[in-house]
Amino acid sequence: MTQTLIRARLLSFHREPQTPDDTGAATYIEDGALLIEGGTIRAMGEARDVTAPDAKLIDHRPHLLMPGFIDTHLHFPQTQVIASWAAELLDWLNDYTFPEETRYADPALCDAMASAFLDRLTDHGTTTAVAYASVHASSAEALFAEAFKRDMRLITGKVMMDRNAPDGLCDTPQSSYDDSKALIARWHGVGRLGYAITPRFAITSTPAQMDAAQALAAEHPDCHIQTHLSENHAEIALSCQLYPEAKDYTDIYARYGLLRGNSLMGHCIHLADREIGALAEAGAKPVFCPTSNLFLGSGLFNDAKLRAGGLTNAIATDIGGGTSYSLLQTLAEGYKVLQLQGQRLHPYRAFHWITRGNAVALGMADRIGTLDPGTEADFVVLNASATLAMAQRMDRARGLVDELFTLQVMGDDRAVVQTYVAGQHRKPA
Ligand code: GUN
Ligand code: ZN
């Protein structure tokens, strides 16, 4: 099999950095080389040590190469919902998002948008995504098929929703079970694909549908589960009204067996202490969606409090409540959200978070999120001087931390020189 040797500066984390100068958490190599073969990283190290005379050479110097970004929560059928004007979450869902998602009943639209969606991800340096499809099985089918074609790591699931939405967007408990089951049989574990059981949120699922989600979860312990939790005050009040027997919003999901180590809980902004304890006990993963939380005015995610409660937080774009596909822009907004609460998101922790950190949250750090030999060859090449404004800032940079912080605050898809998925470049070379 042909080998490719890539020259660049290399950065990869092997644990979460604890302080702004915790350089021991990362491997940084100024004159680095990465050897890849058939979608796998074979070697990573100093250029003088990693040699392969017959390998094809790609020279990305002086740019910075790191593992591909991992987006742990976004919505495939909301590609054309971004930047929709609404007062808050429930208006935004009813006025824009639900009507738009009804269009995904059309398999031809699903096919066309699946390709565009995955192109947008890789344009922005994202190599793994955990995406909600629409309620239509055909939307998940189209996204799986397109990701399979690209050998891209993707987790998705058809949304289960059977009330409080337009007719064209409601399934039934039985059809949601049957469609999810068929998609799991067809795609889960195939290539780099995985299925996420996806009850949208408590408001759009009847108790009968939650029973169906519980059955699916019990039958497929290795499938992820994804849903929304505690995003907005009106959402919380309506959820608790619809499930009066539950102690609180988190308890609704707990009662249906939906909290476990591979559960991804979008938002988690307004949790009570009891809920934090329940999530931590189950090992469920809160997902911080800063651009969305700011855009919809949902609130400030309290990262430090959840971490102190024993939780491992993921971070994500939440397109199309989120306003950018870029995990760099997500870090920029995340930095500001934490600043407002007297918390700091230093660049080492930031870049760990969107690479290895999210891989850990997904339970996949053995396969993605680092440049370790034996892992999958998903990586990005970044240029912190990609725009004139960035270049001017970089003229005054004092080292790697300044470079990373410039990318974290000012970066977007323009800073992504190249994105490699399973060893293949996905932007024009
Ligand atoms: N809660 C239920 N559905 C959604 C969604 O599509 N986006 C966001 N941000 N929150 C939700
Ligand atoms: Zn969401």
Cα–Cα separations (whole angstroms), residue 125 to 179, 227, 385: 31, 25, 16
> Which ligand approaches the C-alpha of residue 135 most closely?
1
pLDDT over threshold 90, residue 352: yes
Nearest alpha carbon, ligand 1 atom 1: 228
Amino acid present at 50: V
**For the segment 20-74, what is each residue's pLDDT rounded down to a tens digit?**
889 999 999 999 999 999 999 999 999 999 999 999 999 999 999 999 999 999 9
User: Any idea what DSSP says for residue 224?
Assistant: E
Residue 108 Cα to ligand 1 midpoint, Å, equals 24
Nearest alpha carbon, ligand 1 atom 8: 321
pLDDT over threshold 80, residue 299: yes
For residue 145, count other CB atoms closer than 10 A to its CB: 16
With a Cβ cut-off of 6 Å, ligand 1 is lined by 75, 89, 93, 97, 200-201, 228, 231, 292, 318, 321
pLDDT at 311: 98
- Residue 9 phi, psi dihedral angles, 5° rounding: -80, 140
Euclidean distance between CA atoms 184 and 266, whole angstroms: 22
- Measured from the Cα of 228, ligand 1's closest atom is 1
- Measured from the Cα of 235, ligand 1's closest atom is 1
> Which ligand approaches the C-alpha of residue 226 most closely?
2
Euclidean distance between CA atoms 153 and 144, whole angstroms: 10
Q: What is the mean pLDDT of residues 349-355?
A: 98
pLDDT over threshold 90, residue 222: yes
pLDDT at 72: 99
Average pLDDT of the chain is 98
Q: Does the CA dihedral 229-215-143-355 come out positive or negative?
A: positive
Nearest alpha carbon, ligand 1 atom 9: 321
**For the segment 275-292, what is each residue's pLDDT rounded down to a tens digit?**
999 999 999 999 999 999
Which residues have C-beta within 8 Å of that of residue 90, sequence separation ≥ 6?
Answer: 232, 234, 235, 238
Q: What is the mean pLDDT of residues 351-361?
A: 98
For residue 53, count other CB atoms closer than 10 A to its CB: 7
**For the segment 224-243, what is each residue's pLDDT rounded down to a tens digit?**
999 999 999 999 999 999 99
- Measured from the Cα of 322, ligand 1's closest atom is 9
Amino acid present at 372: D
- Tokens 């390709």: give the residue: 115
pLDDT over threshold 80, residue 1: no
Which residues have C-beta within 8 Å of that of residue 142, sequence separation ≥ 6?
Answer: 107, 110, 111, 113, 114
DSSP letter string, 108-174 = HHHHHHHHHHHHHHHHTTEEEEEEE--SSHHHHHHHHHHHHHHT-EEEEEPEE--SSS-GGG---HH
Which of the four pLDDT bands, split at 50, 70 and 90, describes residue 270? very high
Of the residues 93, 132, 163, which should be mutated to test ligand 1's pocket, given the most ligand atoms within 8 Å of the CB? 93
Closest C-alpha to 185, from 216, 213, 214, 162: 216
pLDDT at 429: 84
pLDDT at 111: 98
- Measured from the Cα of 321, ligand 1's closest atom is 9
Residue 98 Cα to ligand 2 midpoint, Å, equals 13
- Measured from the Cα of 231, ligand 1's closest atom is 10
**For the segment 128-183, what is each residue's pLDDT rounded down to a tens digit?**
999 999 999 999 999 999 999 999 999 999 999 999 999 999 999 999 999 999 99
CA 32: distance to chain centroid? 28
Which residues have C-beta within 8 Å of that of residue 422, sequence separation ≥ 6?
Answer: 39, 150, 151, 152, 192, 376, 377, 378
Straight-line distance from the first to the last Cα atom of the chain, in angstroms, rounded to the nearest whole number: 22
**For the segment 85-139, what is each residue's pLDDT rounded down to a tens digit?**
999 999 999 999 999 999 999 999 999 999 999 999 999 999 999 999 999 999 9
Nearest alpha carbon, ligand 1 atom 7: 321
> Which ligand approaches the C-alpha of residue 204 most closely?
1
Run of H or E including 181: helix 173-187
User: Any idea what DSSP says for residue 104?
Assistant: G
Q: Does the CA dihedral 176-178-180-183 come out positive or negative?
A: negative
Residue 145 Cα to ligand 2 midpoint, Å, equals 22
> Which ligand approaches the C-alpha of residue 94 most closely?
1
pLDDT at 73: 99
Q: Do you find a cis peptide bond into 320, omega within 30 degrees of 0?
A: yes
Cα–Cα separations (whole angstroms), residue 214 to 50, 220, 230, 284: 49, 10, 20, 15
Nearest alpha carbon, ligand 1 atom 11: 228
- Measured from the Cα of 296, ligand 1's closest atom is 9
Of the residues 97, 156, 287, 292, which should be mutated to test ligand 1's pocket, given the most ligand atoms within 8 Å of the CB? 97
Euclidean distance between CA atoms 164 and 74, whole angstroms: 21
- Measured from the Cα of 318, ligand 1's closest atom is 9
DSSP letter string, 14-68 = SS---STT-GGGEEEEEEEEEEEETTEEEEEEETTT---TTSEEEEEEEEEEEEP
Of the residues 228, 294, 301, which should be mutated to test ligand 1's pocket, given the most ligand atoms within 8 Å of the CB? 228
Residue 344 Cα to ligand 1 midpoint, Å, equals 27
Euclidean distance between CA atoms 278 and 423, whole angstroms: 40
Which of the four pLDDT bands, split at 50, 70 and 90, describes residue 374? very high
